[in-house]
A = this chain, B = another copy of it.
Amino acid sequence: MAYTVGQVAKAARVTVRTLHHYDEIGLLSPSGRTAAGYRRYDDADLERLQHVRFYRELGFPLEEIAAILDDPTADPAAHLRRQHDLLTGRIGKLQEMVAAIEIAMEARRMELKLTPEERFEVFGDVDPEEHAEEARERWGDTEAYRVSTQRAANYSKEDWLRLKAAQEEWGGRIVAALTAGTPADSAEAMALAEEHRQLIVGWFYDCSYEVHTGLADMYLADPRFTAHYEAIVPGLTEYLAEAIHANAISRA
Measuring CB to CB, which residues of chain A are less than 8 angstroms from any residue of chain B? 1, 3, 7, 10-13, 43, 46-47, 49-54, 57, 75-77, 80-81, 83-85, 87-88, 90-91, 94-95, 97-98, 101-102, 104-105, 108, 122, 138-139, 142, 220-224, 226-227, 230-231, 234-235, 237
Q: In the complex the two chains form, is A12's CB within 8 Å of B223's CB?
A: yes
- Please report the C-alpha to C-alpha distance between residue A139 and residue B90 in the assembled complex, in whole angstroms: 14
Q: In the complex the two chains form, is A91's CB within 8 Å of B91's CB?
A: yes
Q: In the complex the two chains form, is B139's CB within 8 Å of A10's CB?
A: no
The 4 A-B pairs at the shortest CB distance, nearest first, are namely: A50-B223, A11-B230, A53-B223, A87-B98
User: Of B10, B75, B94, which one neighbours A87 at CB under 8 angstroms?
Assistant: B94
Q: Which residue of B lies closest to A91 (CB)?
A: B94
| Chain B nearest CB, measured from A49 CB (Å) | 6
* Known pairs A11-B226, A11-B234, A50-B223 / 7 extra A-B pairs, C-beta < 8 Å: A1-B231, A10-B234, A11-B230, A13-B221, A80-B101, A87-B94, A88-B98
Q: In the complex the two chains form, is A231's CB within 8 Å of B43's CB?
A: yes
Q: In the complex the two chains form, is B12's CB within 8 Å of A108's CB?
A: no
When distances are taken between beta carbons in the complex, the residues of chain B under 8 Å from A223 are 12, 47, 49-54
Q: In the complex the two chains form, is A84's CB within 8 Å of B139's CB?
A: yes
When distances are taken between beta carbons in the complex, the residues of chain B under 8 Å from A94 are 87, 90-91, 94
Q: Which residue of B lies closest to A236 (CB)?
A: B11
| Chain B nearest CB, measured from A152 CB (Å) | 16
Q: In the complex the two chains form, is B91's CB within 8 Å of A13's CB?
A: no
- Please report the C-alpha to C-alpha distance between residue A98 and residue B43 in the assembled complex, in whole angstroms: 24
- Please report the C-alpha to C-alpha distance between residue A142 and residue B10 in the assembled complex, in whole angstroms: 33
